[in-house]
Homo-oligomer: A and B are copies of this chain.
Amino acid sequence: MEYKQYQVVFRVEGGEETVIFAAFGESLLEAAKKANVAIDAPCSGMGTCGKCRVKLLSGEVEAEGNRHISWGEYAEGYRLACASRVISELHVLIPQAARTYQDRIKVSGKGAIRERRIFKMLQDELQAMGFWKDSGLELVKVHLKKPDLDDPMADRERLLRALAEQRGGSSPGLSLYALSKLPGVLREADFSCTCVIRREADKRDTVLNIFPAPVPGAPVSGAGAEPVTAGFAIDIGTTTVSILMVDLQTGELLTSGSAGNGQIRYGADVISRIIESARPGGLERMRTGILAECIEPLVQRMCGLTGISPDNIYRVAVAANTTMTHFFMGVPAEHLRLEPYVPAFFETGPFRAVDLGLSVHPAAEVVIAPGIGSYVGGDISAGIFSSMIFKKESLSLFIDLGTNGELALGNSQFLMACACSAGPAFEGGDISCGMRATDGAIEACHVNTDSMEPAIIVIGEIGQKPVGLCGSGLIDLIGELFRCGIINARGKIIREGKRIYRDEWGIPSYVVVFAEDSENGRAISLSEADIDNFIRAKGAIFSAIRTMLAVLDLPVEAIDNVYVAGGIGGGINMKNAIRIGMFPNLGVKKYHYIGNSSMLGAYAMLSSRRACAMVGDISRGMTYLELSSHPGYMDEFVAACFLPHTDGALFKEHE
């Protein structure tokens, strides 16, 4: 084949242009990846998800027909990046819609932190357990004798001597960072200073930072202000990376932020990312997707917003699933996808920020939530801590609806956990109009039985137009469509009307929002393919619950409480979740939505060293059930791929 390179200009809608060169026959998605131009590709370029829609402004590509692009749209220049091969110079427009995962780096002020109520509950729990303000940091003011020719002792020795006298015990060590500030700081405030000291469990305490102490009569600005000690709780999800900034002296939330996981361009599921990570430089690309593309900019913006510089961040707690934890640390994860699915580690750390390339205080302690099994990671051990089910006498079921579904069943006596590959449906993946629970997401809806007209609730400011459906919205919509008899037990659309649209192949979908009412001028609709994907997701969850109960030989009624976690929306309409057979039919009162429990657990680990230790105990004490190797699971799954279930008796209405 002739070797040719063509110039390709990517223009992000309402954004910058990037010019690169692509080889003849190279796919647009590949070319964009090389240029680090973000285009969503949850199906990692298989042409199945339809997320990577781009519009040709000039030039031509060799494109395969695809159900995601109508004939009309094709004529307008719309193509799927993954299914388009470069055969000429190109000018390509990337619509915002193709960047819903990527584009949203959001930082919200103190007031705007979601789930504040849930945080308050956890803070109360921590206080009750005596785990409050237990980050191991202390502020110490000290006044030094000034040096002269008769006492030319060096600054470091002078400081440590004074600290030992004042605090008693052996003199602490001095971090290189603090040492490099020492000469300047001491002379700025006449040899009076405030030290940020970390108490160490097994070695000398460490002076992490040093500030000029207030000089009597000096202006309070600059020298004299009380130093702030802050920390980050980081939840690294397969789809979303979320960070909380916390004042470690008060436990107060300072700000929160979130960003789409930059790895999304390598696929929505962990498997395709593990495969990519094994390619040359792949592991580094995975790290970049988390660190450089999410954590780094979030840290910068959150520090900018609060006016607290990154070197005042002394502690970081990270909770993530097993794969993401591996990638975050730059540890190969290939073997996670190969039998016997063994991770490189369950527990690890604590590390220091410099080890992991985090641009906070270089000696900041970084604690990492320990994993339980190949596909039950630190996000679950942290989440289970925040759910507090390990303290209860009564039997609780814990469900985390992330990109995968993880479950735990138990009480203060025992805990069993398992993971089921529900896929990314709950976070909007594999659903043509699916999206994360951010601005523009439909998070709840009601459908009128007769008119089939929907009423929707959209995340965002007043007047925010809808963009797509997030997890909670999907559950609601499918529940409503089923209730109204618009879809049958197989998820097939069985009614007609102006809300029912059939494409050129005759495949029907239910239109939730017409093109003219949506944010980006594209109709928001749910196709039978989408419904089918969702039914398999909810079936995976339900059959996992059934299998765990069977393994433990417990009836479903034995479950006293169900804690549902996951950043899938403001909340879940449990009535509809039960109606579609996603959760057991226990009556809504037993269900509690606890939001992003992984993030809550990370917050607990950030605030308290004892909480860290207890999360470790939880992970070590947990029994891991490998569903894939469990005979009964497949039958349960097949039976659960109906609305609500092949065995209708399981879902007879009550209450």
Q: Please list the residues of chain A having a beta carbon within 8 angstroms of any beta carbon in chain B.
A: 1-3, 5, 21, 23-25, 34, 62, 64-67, 70-71, 74, 85, 87, 147-149, 151-157, 174, 176, 179-180, 182-184, 187, 202-204, 278, 280-284, 329-332, 334-335, 339-348, 351, 354-356, 362, 371, 373-374, 624, 626, 629
Contacts and interface: CB of A to CB of B under 8 A. Distances in A.
Given A2-B283, A87-B280, A147-B340, 8 more contacts: A2-B330, A5-B67, A25-B280, A149-B626, A151-B340, A152-B342, A174-B348, A179-B331
* CB-CB nearest 5 A-B residue pairs: A3-B71, A156-B345, A25-B281, A62-B280, A25-B280
A345 B176 contact: no
Contacts of A5: 65-67
A335 B347 CA distance: 45
A342 B281 contact: no
Most buried by B among A149, A345, A347, A371: A345
A56 B64 CA distance: 24
Number of copies: 2
A176 B281 contact: no
B180 A332 contact: yes
Contacts of A183: 331-332, 334-335, 344
B65 A1 contact: no
5 contacts: A3-B71, A24-B280, A85-B281, A157-B345, A187-B335
Contacts of A204: 202
A149 B339 contact: yes
A339 B147 CA distance: 9
Given A155-B342, A278-B1, A65 B23 contact: yes
A529 B177 CA distance: 45
Contacts of A151: 340
Contacts of A278: 1
B155 A343 contact: yes
Given A183-B332, A329-B180, A629-B149, A157 B346 contact: yes
Given A187-B335, A280-B87, A345 B179 contact: yes
B180 A148 contact: no
Contact of A152 (B23, B65, B174, B626): B626
A66 to B, nearest CB: 7
A371 B182 CA distance: 17
Nearest to A187: B335
A346 B626 CA distance: 57
A62 B344 contact: no
Contacts of A355: 176, 354, 362
A282 B25 contact: yes
A174 B347 CA distance: 11
Contacts of A156: 344-348
Contacts of A284: 25
B329 A179 contact: yes
Contacts of A624: 152
A3 B147 contact: no
Contact of A344 (B87, B179, B330, B346): B179
A148 B65 contact: no
Contacts of A23: 65
Contacts of A348: 156, 174, 176, 179
A184 B333 CA distance: 10
A3 B332 contact: yes
A591 to B, nearest CB: 32
B154 A344 contact: yes
Given A5-B67, A65-B21, A340-B148, A330 B280 contact: no
A331 B181 CA distance: 8
A328 B461 CA distance: 53
Most buried by B among A204, A284, A341: A284
A86 B21 CA distance: 22
Contacts of A24: 280
A85 B280 contact: yes
Nearest to A336: B183
A24 B21 CA distance: 25
A75 to B, nearest CB: 9
A341 B152 contact: yes
Most buried by B among A3, A174, A278, A346: A3
Contact of A356 (B66, B176, B371, B626): B176
Given A87-B280, A284-B25, A74 B3 contact: yes
A346 B67 CA distance: 46
A265 B62 CA distance: 20
A155 B344 contact: yes
Contacts of A332: 1-3, 180, 183-184
A354 to B, nearest CB: 6
A400 to B, nearest CB: 20
